[in-house]
Amino acid sequence: MGNWDSPQNIVLIGFMGTGKSSVGKKLAQRLGLRLIDTDTEIESSTGLTIPEIFQRDGVVRFRSEESLVVKKAASWRGVVISTGGGAVLNPENLAVLRRSGIIVTLTASPAVICARTIRKGNRPLLKDDNSPEKIQKLLAERDYAYRQGDLIIDTSDKSLDEVVQTIIEFLEEKRYGKN
Ligand code: S3P
């Protein structure tokens, strides 16, 4: 697929450590599109890192900044949007994103998420406990939102290129990007 020529956005949703940021970057590159990463946008609009926002002002402030950024991101056309893992827990956010394009959910097993999130210590919600049990519990609470993707990919045993390729094939199959 050369150039993505569609007003639709491609929105990546899913739990922490499922690969949304890396996949978003690579997918945007392959399609020649702009990438909007909601966590990065929150950091630049507040001038604070995500852990700083959680620590100083708590989860409520974070979710409110996140909703603002999600609405702004969804107002773009023909971009890749990589969301923070909790962005779609707010049904309004999910609805706005859905109206703006195609939703792709990335998933992974609790063990894989645990291994991936150990490496970086930048997730406030897993700071004190990122055991597979805790991850499994959060995944179960969030399942209703994540299962709403138009395409759902388990990234546990896939390379970055394989995940990106799967998304591109899905877009081609559905003829997304063709006017
Ligand atoms: C969160 C996921 C994080 C970040 C914040 C909260 C969540 O993003 O937005 O720490 O509630 O799942 P990633 O999914 O990119 O790690």
Given a contact cutoff of 8 angstroms between Cβ atoms, the answer to whether 15 and 107 are in contact is: yes
User: Cα separation of 13 and 146, whole Å?
Assistant: 7
- Tell me, in angstroms, the distance from the centre of ligand 1 to residue 126's CA: 9
Q: Is the CB of 124 under 6 A from ligand 1?
A: yes
Q: What is the pLDDT of residues 122-140, one digit of tens each?
A: 899 998 899 999 999 999 9
Q: Is 90 helix (H, G, I), strand (E, B) or coil?
A: coil
> What percent helix, strand, coil does the chain show, rounded to 5?
55, 15, 30
DSSP designation for 47: S
Which pTM value belongs to this model? 0.95
Q: Is the CB of 50 under 6 A from ligand 1?
A: yes
User: Cα separation of 118 and 123, whole Å?
Assistant: 9
What is the mean pLDDT of each successive set of 10 residues along the chain, which is 179 residues long? 76 98 97 97 97 96 98 97 98 98 98 88 88 96 97 98 97 75
Q: Which atom of ligand 1 is nearest to the CA of 16?
A: 14
